[in-house]
Structures are given as structure tokens and as C-alpha cells.
Amino acid sequence: METPASQPAVAPTRVRFGIMVMLFVVVVINYLDRSNLSIAGPMLAQDLHLDPARMGWLFSAFGWTYAFCQIPGGWAVDRVKPRFLYAALLIGWSLATFSLGFAGSIAVLIALRFAIGALEAPSFPINNRVVTTWFPERERATAISFYTSGQFVGIAFLTPVLSYLQATFSWEVVFMVTGGVGVVWGVAWFYLYRQPGEHRRVNQAEIEQIRAGGGLVDLDARGGKARVPLQWADLRLVLGSRKLWAVYIGQFCLTSAQWFFLTWFMTYLVQYRGLGYVRAGFFAMVPFFAAFCGVLTGGVLSDWLVRSGMSVGVARRIPIVGGLLLSMLIMGANYVQSPVLVIAFLAIAFFGNGFASITWVLVSSIAPARLIGLSGGCFNFFGNLSAFTVPMVIGYLVNGSDFSPALSFIAALALIGALSYIFLLGKVERLPDRPIEEVAVVDGTKLPA
């Protein structure tokens, strides 16, 4: 008779990779709803008679609420399970996106972009929490790079489609289509997503594999039992670390280039490089596809370096610093006239930006385990200050037909970001939490210190 010891081990399921695909789809929708204004921008500006300065304010509207809702959004991520929170947010911001198609004034457009920014604010802290829960350390950069690639691949392949819809119908249709898709996926997320301990298809072997590799598989379960109010001491903890400030500064610089591509890019091609709407849509595919390749390459390389025995700090820094330095080549577009060469420089720069875009893995590795959401909210807050500052600064830097100061500005920020990761980060290791007697709260009652 076969004894338990001689029975073959049960192979771990691979449900976590399905979760990774779900996050990818969310990010595609997330970034289409951020960038659709960039696609509609040239025609919208013409219809509403908006000059570059006012377009800068409109492009920046999303960023104001997106940035300033990061910290409260991160706090909500630590308290509300992703299944419920993400579904509600997805449906909410998608309805606001759909409503943009009925806006007839800049005031209404700005108000709706404010709403979209506020509702999208917790999205990447949720992504980080899900990955920290579902993936061991050695797979985490690959998982993050895979879902992060959604922000580029969706735009790369769908920008020509949306540009065609705009040219054939109107700019309003762009918002209606992207908003409608988001509502459908919000409902799907609610029915499909579960945390590791509740998922019907995951087996115990996979849960133990994740746990043994450093995945916090019980994070959501613990969060459901403890009702920990927002404490200023927690905020001081995540704002008082030099390590976290290194990634805060670096993320601001990294996302600055992204916000150029998500806001001014199509306007740059159409108004400053003389391309038609449809042609510009096809040219716009190239940098976004390059960024998609960069994201996947950076994540796979970083995890391979970890598995090869390199320290986590070095393995994470190599693609981040290298990518930021490569993205400085965006300045090269200032010195060429051919649209093909312009796109070539922008594509190389955006490849570098994508290559560096595994930065969330550092938050996952550094933040105190209890404060993954709050740390992610602070990280995204500082990173996305660029969401409203960069579009506005570009609006004022653009002088007549000269866009070169704006691209030089983006290149300078990339250099600052690289220096932050080189000189400020230090050793990559999880920060200690405050003593448990200071933070433990059970059933709403704080334990005495």
C-alpha cells in the first residue's frame, strides 16, 4: 500500500498567471481612458477654439485629482478587498469617460477629467497589492512588467483604430467607445477576481509556493480582520524614509515622459510636425510598441538577474537606471526634420522609459508589509505630480512652432531620476514597521502601548 510519504507531490496550479492577465486588461483600459484625450485633442481643440495654454490646463485636469487622491486611495486599498474596490472604480471612471462624449465646453470636460483622475487614483496601488499577494519575489518584476506593458500595448495597437473612428465620425465617439469597454470589464472583474485563499481553482501547493517565495498570500485575510484607522504616524513612516524618497523622486521623473506621450504627443505630431490625423495615429503606434517591448524586457531581465544570484538591489537598478538614461535620447527629435527620424528618436526614448518601468517592484520590496497600499499611494502621488505639472509646463514652454524646449525638459528630468536611484536608494530591503503595540487594533479598539 502506498504511504503518504511515497505519494507523488501535487503540482502547484498556475492561477496567478491568469490574475496577471486580468491586471493587464485593466491597465489597457486604464491607460486608454487617460490617453483618449490626447487622440481627440487636435480636433477637439479646433472645435472648441482652445489655444495651447488652455489645452495644457485641460490635459492636466486628470492629473490634479489623480495625484492628490493617491494617499487616501492607498489607504482605501489597505482596507477594501480588490474584488470590490476595483470593480466599483472601473465602472465609475468608465461612465465618466463615456460622458466626455457629451461635453460641449471646456468646463464640463475639465470636471469630468477631474472625476476620472480621482476614480483611477487607487488603481496602481491595487495592482501592486494584488501582485504582492499573488506572486513570489522571483516572479514579481515579470508580473509587474507584464501588466504595466498594458499601458503601452493598448495605446500602440488601438490608437490607429481610435484615430480612424475620430476621422470617420467625431472626437466624441472616441470617449464613448473607450468608456463602454471599461464598464463591461468592471462587471467582469467583480465576477472573476478572488484573493488566493478564496479562489476556487488555486490549490494549496500554489499558495505555499507563493508564500515560500515571499508572497503575502494572507495579506487580504489579515486586512479583513483588523480595522486599522488612518494614523498620522503611518504617514510619517512612509514619508520619512530616504529609500522611499529615492523612488518617489525617480517615479516623478519617469512618469514625466509618459505624460508627454499621453497628452501632447498627438498634438506634437499633427500641429508641430504636420502629420494628418490618421497618419499620425499610425506613427504614434511605434513609440508605444517600443515602450511595450521595453517593459517586458526590463522585467524579464531583472527577474533573471535575481534568479542568477545577483542582489535584488542591483538587479532592479540595472533596468531602471539604464532605461532612464536611454530615455534622454528624446532630445534627438529636436535636431531632425524627417518624420521617420523623429519617431525613431521618440521610440528609442520610450523604449528606455518602458525598460525602466518596473519601479513598482521596489515599492513591493521596500514598503512595510502592513502599509503596502499607503506606501503605493504615496509613491503614485509623487510620481503623478507630473500628470498635471508636465502638461502645463509644456503648454507654456511651447513657443509658436518651437517644441524643442519641451523635449529638452523631459530629457533633463530623466537624468535627475537616474541620479536619484543611483545615489539615494541604498540597499533594497523591507522597511521595519512601527512596534506592533503602537498599531494593533482589534474590533476598533486600540491596544495599549
Q: What is the pLDDT of residue 449?
A: 37
The SS3 assignment for 445 reads strand
Among 109-113, 117-121, 171-175, where is mean pLDDT lowest? Answer: 171-175
Going by pLDDT thresholds of 50, 70 and 90, the confidence category of residue 315 is: confident
Q: What is the pLDDT of residue 249?
A: 92
Going by pLDDT thresholds of 50, 70 and 90, the confidence category of residue 411 is: very high
- Please give the grid coordinates belonging to residue 150: 498594458
Tens-place pLDDT, residues 294-307: 888 887 888 888 88
Q: What is the pLDDT of residue 223?
A: 47
Q: Which CATH class is domain 14-221+231-431?
A: mainly alpha
Q: What's the whole-number mean pLDDT along residues 101-112?
A: 82
Going by pLDDT thresholds of 50, 70 and 90, the confidence category of residue 277 is: low
More confident residue, 59 or 334: 334
Q: What is the pLDDT of residue 219?
A: 66
Going by pLDDT thresholds of 50, 70 and 90, the confidence category of residue 326 is: very high
- Please give the grid coordinates belonging to residue 161: 483604430
Going by pLDDT thresholds of 50, 70 and 90, the confidence category of residue 365 is: confident
Q: What is the pLDDT of residue 89?
A: 93
Distance separating the N- and C-terminal Cα atoms of the chain: 56
Tens-place pLDDT, residues 381-393: 888 788 778 888 8
Q: What is the pLDDT of residue 8?
A: 52
More confident residue, 448 or 331: 331
How many C-beta atoms lie closer than 10 Å to residue 412's C-beta? 14
* Residue in the structure block whose three cell numbers are 500554489: 206
Among 39-53, 225-239, 337-351, 429-443, where is mean pLDDT lowest? Answer: 429-443
Under 8 Å between Cβ of 221 and 129: no
Query: In the Cβ-directed half-sphere of 210, how many Cα atoms lie within 13 Å?
Result: 26
Would the pLDDT of 324 be above 90? yes
Task: Please report, for residues 19, 232, 303, the alpha-carbon distance to residue 206 in angstroms, rounded to integers and kept in the order given.
Answer: 13, 37, 19
Going by pLDDT thresholds of 50, 70 and 90, the confidence category of residue 6 is: very low
Q: Of 188, 226, 244, 260, which is closest to residue 409 (Cα–Cα)?
A: 260
Q: What's the whole-number mean pLDDT along residues 401-414?
A: 89
Would the pLDDT of 397 be above 70? yes
Q: Strands, DSSP E only, in 396-447?
A: 441-442, 445-446
Q: What is the pLDDT of residue 181?
A: 87
Query: In the Cβ-directed half-sphere of 96, how many Cα atoms lie within 13 Å?
Result: 23
Going by pLDDT thresholds of 50, 70 and 90, the confidence category of residue 186 is: very high
Q: What is the pLDDT of residue 31?
A: 82
How many C-beta atoms lie closer than 10 Å to residue 434's C-beta? 15
Measured between alpha carbons, how far is 174 from 184 in angstroms, rounded to an integer?
A: 16
How many C-beta atoms lie closer than 10 Å to residue 430's C-beta? 13
Q: What is the pLDDT of residue 9?
A: 64
Among 228-232, 258-262, 368-372, where is mean pLDDT lowest? Answer: 228-232
Going by pLDDT thresholds of 50, 70 and 90, the confidence category of residue 339 is: confident
Q: What's the whole-number mean pLDDT along residues 323-348?
A: 91
Would the pLDDT of 203 be above 70? yes
Q: What is the pLDDT of residue 328?
A: 94
Under 8 Å between Cβ of 363 and 430: no
Q: What's the whole-number mean pLDDT along residues 46-72?
A: 78
- Please give the grid coordinates belonging to residue 283: 506613427
